[in-house]
Amino acid sequence: MSFRFNQENTIKIASLLNRYPQKKALILPLLWLAQKQEGFISDAAMKNISEFLELPLMHVYSVASFYTMFRFAKNEKKVIEVCRTLSCELNGSEDIKKYIQSNYSDRFEIVEVECMGACSGAPMCTLEGKYFENVTPQKIDKVFNDN
């Protein structure tokens, strides 16, 4: 398995290079581009990034594993994230999570996450990164059935 950034991303990387005093700073931007391109961070992508940035592979892996938004395996299903932190919990996130789990776990991968910064819209969830706030079972049915 090998990995190469596609043409669009290669152009983006070229312009990003001018924005930072050292190449090393590009780890996060490159991890994001790799994840966008393949849907996850493959070992081959990390190897590519480590060679491009002239850093040990372990450094790239260690950095990537520090952040929770990077996935190291391909998701076959779309991802629903349900916020579980206090403001959401106080407004019924547990019930929402249970509702989604019992109705949508066959079609989506459901992940509980910490505060997404949408506390005024509690409870909230995301679908493929897009925020849905003040969710109710009805709203969930509408949004998820459209996807």
Of the residues 6, 17, 51, 56, which one makes contact with other proteins according to CB under 8 A? 56
- Give the integer Cα–Cα distance in Å for 51 and 132: 39
Residue 74: closest CA among 37, 29, 24, 19: 37
**Binding of other proteins at residue 73 (CB under 8 A)?**
no
End-to-end CA distance of the chain: 31
Name the residue type at position 45.
A
Of the residues 13, 110, 119, 143, which one makes contact with other proteins according to CB under 8 A? 119
Of the residues 80, 82, 96, 122, which one makes contact with other proteins according to CB under 8 A? 122
User: Is residue 86 within 8 Å of 118, Cβ to Cβ?
Assistant: no
Ordered alpha helix ranges (H), 83-136:
86-90, 93-104
Of the residues 52, 101, 111, 121, which one makes contact with other proteins according to CB under 8 A? 121
Q: Measured from the CB atom, is 53 or 143 closer to other proteins?
A: 53
Ordered alpha helix ranges (H), the chain:
7-17, 27-38, 43-53, 57-66, 86-90, 93-104, 137-145
Q: Measured from the CB atom, is 81 or 108 closer to other proteins?
A: 81
Q: Measured from the CB atom, is 103 or 112 closer to other proteins?
A: 112
Q: Measured from the CB atom, is 53 or 103 closer to other proteins?
A: 53
**Binding of other proteins at residue 131 (CB under 8 A)?**
yes
Q: Which residues bind other proteins (CB under 8 A)?
A: 16, 19-22, 24-29, 31-32, 43, 46, 53, 55-70, 84-87, 89-91, 113-122, 126, 129-131
